[in-house]
Chain A
């Protein structure tokens, strides 16, 4: 393989991996902030337990997002230096602003939240979490502004062969970004919803299996308590509420992704028609949405593909909002792209061996076709499962079935799958461009860049292969570690995040030695520190 292929695999693997941690951070952060707010306003201990337990899992996951995020920022310069040179004037700004305006906020205030349970007033402490969560939203916004510019470049002029920003407002309010941001945030919430639902289900099931909770003659749950720390009646409330919150969040966020996804589809039809056609493996112009297409969709040869089941009109609806507009298929688009952006890779040394080769304008349809369907499929299945879960748990607990429990836990993965599939679809569907052309501007001189031109010319394939192997191996090990820790803390239940539940309350203010230079309050302030580390 050459450097380009390896660098693409590396970017794909590290990004999909990073984006397993990120949506859980964004979604769970919001959920925990709401839980803590309810606790703050009502003083209800159920919500304190929920805050602590889900907050613990949130933190175990958060750090992985942080650790893998640095790779993303460095990678542009390391492996894609030619890309960085070309787009730096406009693409660097949102990345720098993300660090300056969002990530600083997130990291600093989350540090305050983790360590400030006792040092800060309750309201201030809660505010710190909200600020961190809102920071994570802004983080998402800036990154998506950067990505959307690659999908649909706006606000620039070509000067000396490079796009130069001339209209920051256009860049930061790119309509591609404005619909992608809510789509991504809803996608993140869906992950959190499934996470809550699956884990809460497991605990309710455990309580039933251990005979703590039973179902009475009227079909309603009789919550009990066991002589184990944290296994009281409140514990039951923690899980059933978490489950219901999770199910509702999952359903709302699916509706949100569907609505915003619909808007995205219509934009994509205008902005990246080839991606839309490839999402459908639609070779010929038409109106029908393919439910199942067979043939070798990966062959990039349209003559091999037969749409077995097709619903007429639906594709037109996805693209235009009516049922009759002819949506251009791959075959007619290829000709259009060739005449607009050239038939062959320019004879420029930055293209290496690819210089002069014919350009393949059709993305790998196997990926776009199935990626598109997996995104929708996983999302839909998760939402449907959430609805069923609400119905099944109307008695106040879950059935005793071990298989249903396993299914609920496995279901946690569905929204992750939908997120990954969506990103793989949209990034692979943009190929062969790294910066897709904006069709509103005409002709070959407009702003676009082929992926083949973006890789670092001075870096050898061996170097990139080294980093690919090293990063993939480390990521794999860390994934195992993270999942093991999550499982351990999940199994431990609330008490694993709240050891004070197990301690007699007498211990609280013993050995309170005021620290030097302190504010004169009791010295227990360090307990929280010690608990965190």
Chain B
């Protein structure tokens, strides 16, 4: 097995896991804007928990995609072109969501806010679902021909795994967001989030368990199955800690659950990065889809410096904004004050 492509497979798994860990909760918080928050103040509490960090979290997606392009161009090309329409949906969702965060508070009417709230909620769900579907399909396979192109029409990628993966990531995001809100807010939102977390945990994790189990059945090994069991233990621990009201530990346990689950899934498919459902001979693997050792070596050096730095300054951001946000902290929305009250001023002309 070649060393550098293997390292980059791990690196890409790390980037996707980092993305799911970080954007997981802000996608979930986005969905909860409509599912959970009762009024505008609560929505603003939710928004302010992720406000300073969501954009930085989203860059993990760009980096994961960019690193896939650079390290495994054939994987990137086949996956992205085969999933043309679902990825279009993800893009549309991400566009609306990003713009909604920034523009929601810019006009002081209920209708305006409500429109963007829907954009955030639906956008977050669709993005999570689409990313989940794409990740599930890259572990379970697409109808690829010898050149790595999709065989069949625009929907020939579809399989039950797409739905499973979609619900898996959306469910995980919701659970992660509830843990995050319990940790980051205070007052009613905090307590309600914790109650929801405990009550919904089994349901929200079910599709994730289904996806992970399918991958184990398709290509699992002993150690990946053990890791999946460890993820199950982490889920139980998260539930118990949530019940006890240890919000920090519950959040951490969800993180461990994600880590074990991701290693278990990526480990099971290795060394295949994208199976072909037409013929295993067309499978894209760590060795036949990767860039040259020269490119991978260069990227390794840069990543060794760059990635720890990213983690350090993002961690610092979370430290700066470590305080809990509560409804009591949210002041009245300032009404827009135009500097030029032309009517109130008499012109001398």
B-binding residues in A (CB < 8 A)? 59-60, 62-64, 66-71, 73-74, 76-79, 81-82, 84-85, 87-93, 95-101, 103-105, 107-112, 114-116, 119-120, 159, 164-166, 168, 206, 209-211, 226, 228-231, 235, 456-460, 462-464, 466-467, 470-471, 474, 478, 481, 485, 488-489, 491-496, 499, 502, 513, 515-519, 523, 525-527, 529-533
Contact = CB atoms under 8 A, between A and B. Distances in A.
Given A119-B320, A209-B347, A458-B82, A100 B331 contact: no
B53 A89 contact: no
Nearest to B94: A70
Contacts of A494: 339
A460 B320 contact: no
Given A89-B291, A107-B55, A99 B73 contact: no
Contact of A99 (B62, B104, B326): B62
A179 B57 CA distance: 33
Given A210-B347, A458-B151, A467 B84 contact: yes
B81 A81 contact: yes
Contacts of A499: 334, 337
Contacts of B148: 81, 85
Given A112-B317, A164-B294, A70 B52 contact: no
Interface in B321-345: 321-326, 328-331, 333-334, 336-342, 344-345
A425 to B, nearest CB: 27
Contacts of B92: 470-471, 474
Interface stretch (B43-51, B158-166, B238-246, B275-283): B43-51
20 contacts: A67-B95, A67-B98, A74-B87, A76-B76, A79-B81, A81-B148, A88-B73, A97-B306, A100-B306, A104-B63, A165-B294, A210-B340, A231-B339, A458-B149, A459-B150, A459-B154, A523-B329, A526-B331, A532-B105, A533-B44
B91 interface: yes
Contact of A111 (B56, B65, B186, B331): B56
B340 A60 contact: no
A206 B340 contact: yes
A111 B317 CA distance: 8
B320 A470 contact: no
Contact of B340 (A96, A110, A457, A493): A493
A459 B81 contact: yes
A374 to B, nearest CB: 29
- What 10 A-B pairs come out closest when comparing CB atoms? A88-B73, A77-B80, A493-B339, A92-B70, A458-B149, A81-B81, A92-B69, A96-B66, A81-B77, A526-B329
B124 interface: no
Contacts of B71: 92, 96
A166 B294 contact: yes
A67 B80 contact: no
A477 to B, nearest CB: 10
Contact of A60 (B48, B106, B295, B337): B106
Contacts of A523: 329
B7 interface: no
B48 A533 contact: yes
Nearest to A475: B95
A478 B56 contact: no
B147 interface: yes
Interface stretch (B202-210, B229-237, B297-305): B297-305
Nearest to B51: A533
B59 interface: yes
Nearest to A90: B295
B101 interface: yes
Interface stretch (B211-219, B260-268, B307-315): B307-315
B298 A533 contact: no
B227 interface: no
B95 A71 contact: yes
B347 A165 contact: no
B48 A491 contact: no
B73 A78 contact: no
A271 B260 CA distance: 52
B78 interface: yes
Interface string B87-102: 1100110111011011
Contact of B52 (A115, A230, A459): A115
Contact of A115 (B107, B145, B321, B322): B321
| Chain B facing A: main interface SS | helix
Contacts of B178: none
Contacts of B337: 229-230, 492, 495-496, 499, 502
B79 interface: yes
A150 B106 CA distance: 40
Contact of B69 (A66, A84, A235): A84
A67 B99 contact: yes
Given A59-B102, A456-B149, A93 B299 contact: yes
A526 B330 contact: yes
A99 B320 CA distance: 23
B320 A496 contact: no
A226 B345 contact: yes
Contact of B325 (A111, A230, A526): A526
B123 to A, nearest CB: 10
B226 interface: no
Given A99-B63, A111-B53, A533-B104, A165 B292 contact: yes
A119 B321 contact: yes
B58 interface: yes
B80 A78 contact: yes
B69 A457 contact: no
A495 B321 CA distance: 26
A533 B105 contact: yes
A481 B106 CA distance: 11
B182 interface: no
B235 to A, nearest CB: 27
Nearest to B331: A530
A165 B298 contact: yes
A88 B295 CA distance: 10
Given A108-B56, A488-B107, 9 more contacts: A81-B80, A92-B73, A92-B76, A100-B306, A103-B59, A164-B294, A211-B346, A471-B88, A515-B186
B103 interface: yes
A529 B295 contact: no
A105 to B, nearest CB: 8
Contacts of B149: 81, 456-458
A168 B298 contact: yes
A115 B61 CA distance: 23
Contacts of A67: 94-95, 98-99
B345 A229 contact: no
B74 interface: yes
B67 interface: yes
A485 B63 contact: no
